[in-house]
């Protein structure tokens, strides 16, 4: 069990995360370029999550590109999202009860995500905080 999340939920596993469920309007709001949006809608990536207490490794595999991120909860780290939305940022992942929440600061401001488990399903919410609305 990790030091902060007291539920004892195991995050390790293999999960499917269809990007085709993400609305195009959200990708436009995040300023994802046209070509990347079209490709993202076709992908059905697989996430492999490894957990060792508060240390995580998340592999995302797709037919187009693979992505790897390693972090420790509560410690800021440099993240290069090349191939995702092509930006570099400082990321900080924290526990919010039983959810992992990430705030990203960098070239494209005010981004982040939240992951949580419900049974054997991994949920993901992408966030952007836009002052343009």
User: Distances from the Cα of 63 to the Cαs of 35, 38, 97, in angstroms?
Assistant: 16, 14, 34
2 falls in which pLDDT band (50, 70, 90)?
Answer: very low
6 falls in which pLDDT band (50, 70, 90)?
Answer: very low
User: Distances from the Cα of 82 to the Cαs of 65, 69, 87, 99, 116, in angstroms?
Assistant: 10, 12, 6, 25, 24
Tens-place pLDDT, residues 60-119: 888 877 888 999 999 999 988 766 666 788 999 999 998 999 998 887 667 788 888 888
Domains of the chain by residue range: 13-128
Backbone angles phi, psi at 97, to 5 degrees: 60, -115
Comparing 16 with 50, which gets the higher pLDDT? 50
**Domain at 13-128, CATH class:** mainly beta
Tens-place pLDDT, residues 30-54: 677 888 777 777 777 788 999 999 9
Burial of 93 (0-12, 13-18, 19+ CB in 10 A): buried
pTM of the model: 0.73
């Amino acid at each position: 069990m990790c030091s902060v999340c007291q539920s004892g939920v195991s995050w390790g596993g293999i999960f499917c995360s269809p990007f085709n469920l993400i609305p195009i309007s959200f990708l436009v709001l995040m300023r994802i370029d046209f070509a990347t949006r079209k490709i993202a809608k076709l992908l059905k990536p697989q996430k492999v999550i490894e957990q060792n207490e508060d240390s995580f490794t998340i592999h995302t595999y797709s037919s187009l590109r693979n992505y790897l991120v390693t972090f420790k909860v509560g410690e800021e780290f440099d993240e290069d999202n090349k191939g995702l939305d092509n930006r570099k940022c400082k990321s900080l992942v924290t526990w919010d009860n039983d959810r992992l929440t990430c705030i990203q600061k960098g070239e494209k401001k005010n981004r982040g995500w939240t992951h949580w488990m419900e049974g054997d399903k991994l949920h993901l919410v992408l966030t952007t905080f836009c002052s343009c609305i």
